[in-house]
Structure 1
Amino acid sequence: MTLREYAANFKTAMRVPLECSPRLVWKFAYNFGWRNLKNINQFEKRQAKGDPFFPAFIMISITETCNLSCSGCWVTPGGKKTMTPEQLDGIITESKKKGSYFFGILGGEPLLYKGLFEILEKHSDCYFQLFTNGMLITDDIALRMKKLGNITPLISIEGLKEESDHRRGKNDVFNKSLSGVKACKKAKLIFGAAASICKSNYNDLVSREYIDLLAKEGAHYLWYYIYRPVGPKPNVENALDKEEIYKLRKFIVEQRKDAPLFIIETYWDAHGNALCPAATGMSHHISPNGAVEFCPPLQMAKEYLNQDASNLTEVFEQSDFLSNLRALTVKNSRGCILLEDPRGLAEFLEKHNAVDTTTRNTVISEYKNMIPVAGHDQRGREVPEKNIFYKLMKKKYFFGFGAYG
């Protein structure tokens, strides 16, 4: 890295303490930073010793209800399943006993969940990443999140104006999401934007111009995903091919040298080797009806939480289904089994008598009909990190935890 790149990285790092409320910065540093560091160390020791399994982080989808109906989304359009407050509170409570204080809160649209902020306020020692389309973030909602201090909104933007309307099934989605971005900036929140990259939004969103736009609007990080054609309207034709995924990886690594915001992804380690966070055991997912799942788009399960989620630890420690699925996922690839081998996955799910956890009850047939598409495991074309900060973070958080031998 050059001196100019170091200076750019320092400027980016200083944006959070300079632009955000001091109390929020402290909550972020302690609840997310310090507690996460301890949690990862505990998780790593459990994995190394072969102790009973419990993931480092849990992603929680609290409702199927959403104000949009996006192409390629795994959530059932019009679905009404909603997690009980007792289960949500119990998941957080039980996780803290294992040293885990960070959670992803997903939907549907989580801001449609009644009583959400009351539960997150109760767990003021935790930190929550709220996955939202941003359309419901008003000035009042942003100020409520500021008062809590332990929430970072992650606003999903799936394209510029035309593409957002097309992908998300409504008009003026981009501008409404951008209004949520502006409300977060006004409230001095630590917040980010997310994008699921596909063919139709690649040129608009995989660009320095888009990064600069988000930074100018106040976003502190940008999370890139790879589009997964799943759900009732998969749109396989929109999936990236191998060359596009390779170019996306190169773009991310290059932009990390001097981008005005942090660029996040969870697909590659410091050396550019592909990995699956669920396969490493780093994270698993819980659906709105309490089903304990491998990851958010894989909507089949064997185990369910009880009324207050007090069996959470027992489920993770004793689940042969999750253990066997982690082993299957790393057997032939370091990539995404759902993208690369959906029919093999369907065979595994049927063999283990896994249950569809959705309202639509068509997931297994969807997997059987899926066409394999390119994943992010491209051995021989690894692109190592160039930025020393990301190298260090990746070596700590994304190195496989022994999953790949």
Structure 2
Amino acid sequence: MKEFNLELYLTNGVENIVRGILRTSLRNPDASQFVFQYAKANKKAAALRDEAEKEGRHIPPFLIASISNQCNLHCQGCYARANKTCQDGDDRNSPKLLSAAQWADIFNQAVELGISFILLAGGEPFVRQDILKAAAKQKKIMFPVFTNGTMINEEYLELLLHARNLVPILSMEGSEEVTDKRRGKGVFQRLREAMDSLHKKGILFGVSITVQKENIDEVMSGEFLQFLKNEGCGGVIFVEYVPMGNADSVSALDEIDRELMMRRLKCLREREQEMVFLAFPGDEKTSGGCLAAGRGFFHINPYGGAEPCPFSPYSDTNLTNTPLKEALESPLFLRLKREGVLMAEHVGGCVLHEREAQVKALLRGGKQ
């Protein structure tokens, strides 16, 4: 098997992801019909990106959009709460959240540029039904929706059944004990109920797992992956835990753990070809560096700020007054690329989080 290269996996029209989704949906006619239509749109998007590349402009194949600053859970080690981008209730001191109409306009701009994947996150994105409905109307974009899974009720099941471009990605940590320890008592059972409901209705879904020292052996085991497969899961995204403070660092993976994770991931891709497997930021290393700041993607916060990534919540450009095309050339993004920060060696799972002081200095317009 050739060395996995995430930048090619994403930039070359996301064909590998589409093929993987097709494999998981062939038994579902409704899902298959949508994915075939999306595959056509995706080829057109890839052509737009290729044309831009020839003109000296790089368009990333996907974006991450945090559409809500609200969440109904208080998960241990949550980066959004640590970064104060997620909260309880309304905060009058916070900037104004983007409206569903503003998000719809961003989605339309993304199509015009050739962006074909937008990952919806939060907070909890299912808090913003208005934005999810706006996303559902943009059939030329696939929207993986990263959710804690506790808000998927009958009304949402009906939306997902008819909006095949919305693909729920349920967050869990492995076993009931480990999941409930991090996410709250009873969450694992609610996730199983959500998976059961999605599976019975033939709705494609995936799972996102935050990989830590305490769960790496379990979540990458054949037994656990078989459990997810039996539940109807079409793919797994392994997200390496990024500690938000010194107290959390004991749970972070070391280099031996990362090597183990990537070896197992390679085996999974060879053995379970009907499922899609991604690892962040592990897969980025095979791409020669971090894919943030527009190299492979960038992050839009709930207020419209264009940020390098969710783990690096710094912005000098806002989409309320800047077109998406221009936001890709934000001064901060350009400085991060020019100074070689994205390609820098680092110990932990996220180069930008590890080099926070340097990112802040570049935000101010200077070098550290």
TM range (shorter): 0.7 to 0.9
Deviation at residue 281 of structure 1 after TM alignment: 1.2
| Equivalent of residue 40 in structure 2, options 4, 25, 34 | 34
Task: Confirm or deny that 1:153 pairs with 2:168.
Answer: yes
Residues 123-162 of structure 1 mapped to structure 2, 5 A cutoff: 123-162=138-177
Task: Confirm or deny that 1:46 pairs with 2:52.
Answer: yes
Equivalent residue, structure 1, for 2:267 = 254
Residues 17-96 of structure 1 mapped to structure 2, 5 A cutoff: 17-18=26-27, 20=28, 22-31=29-38, 33-47=39-53, 49-51=55-57, 53-76=58-81, 78-79=87-88, 80=90, 82-96=97-111
Partner SS for 2:270: coil
Q: Distance in 1 between matches of 2:202 and 2:322?
A: 36
Amino acid of the structure 1 residue aligned with 2:360: L
| Equivalent of residue 339 in structure 1, options 334, 347, 350 | 350
Deviation at residue 174 of structure 1 after TM alignment: 0.9
Q: 1:131 to 1:88 in 2, by over 3 A?
A: same
Q: Distance in 2 between matches of 1:11 and 1:121?
A: 21
Residues 255-270 of structure 1 mapped to structure 2, 5 A cutoff: 255-259=268-272, 261-267=275-281
- Structure 1 gap segments, 5+ residues each: 2-9, 355-405
In the comparison of the two structures, how many residue pairs are matched? Answer: 336
Contact residue 206 and residue 248 of structure 1 kept, 8 A: yes
Equivalent residue, structure 2, for 1:204 = 218
Q: Distance in 2 between matches of 1:299 and 1:276?
A: 15
Q: 1:245 to 1:222 in 2, by over 3 A?
A: same
Greater alpha carbon shift after TM alignment, 109-118 vs 284-293: 109-118
Q: 1:150 to 1:98 in 2, by over 3 A?
A: same
Q: Distance in 2 between matches of 1:256 and 1:265?
A: 11
Equivalent residue, structure 1, for 2:303 = 289
Q: Distance in 1 between matches of 2:286 and 2:333?
A: 26
Percent identity, please: 22
Deviation at residue 296 of structure 1 after TM alignment: 1.4
RMSD value, Cα: 2.9
Task: Confirm or deny that 1:98 pairs with 2:110.
Answer: no
Q: Distance in 1 between matches of 2:348 and 2:341?
A: 6
C-alpha distance after superposition, 1:227-277 (max 9, x if no partner): 1113x7971111000000000000010122222633223546699455422
Greater alpha carbon shift after TM alignment, 177-186 vs 287-296: 177-186
Task: Confirm or deny that 1:324 pairs with 2:329.
Answer: no
| Equivalent of residue 192 in structure 1, options 189, 206, 211 | 206
Q: 1:86 to 1:280 in 2, by over 3 A?
A: closer
Partner SS for 1:130: strand
Q: 1:111 to 1:242 in 2, by over 3 A?
A: same
Deviation at residue 62 of structure 1 after TM alignment: 0.5
- Structure 2 gap segments, 5+ residues each: 2-18
Q: Distance in 2 between matches of 1:174 and 1:236?
A: 24
Q: Distance in 2 between matches of 1:83 and 1:131?
A: 19
C-alpha distance after superposition, 1:92-129 (max 9, x if no partner): 01111212232111111100114133312332333211
Residues 168-179 of structure 1 mapped to structure 2, 5 A cutoff: 168=183, 170-179=184-193
Q: 1:323 to 1:234 in 2, by over 3 A?
A: farther
Equivalent residue, structure 1, for 2:15 = none
Q: Distance in 1 between matches of 2:106 and 2:170?
A: 24
Task: Confirm or deny that 1:241 pairs with 2:254.
Answer: yes
Contact residue 36 and residue 102 of structure 1 kept, 8 A: no
Partner SS for 1:220: strand
Deviation at residue 141 of structure 1 after TM alignment: 1.6
Amino acid of the structure 2 residue aligned with 1:248: M
Amino acid of the structure 2 residue aligned with 1:30: Q
Q: 1:279 to 1:60 in 2, by over 3 A?
A: closer
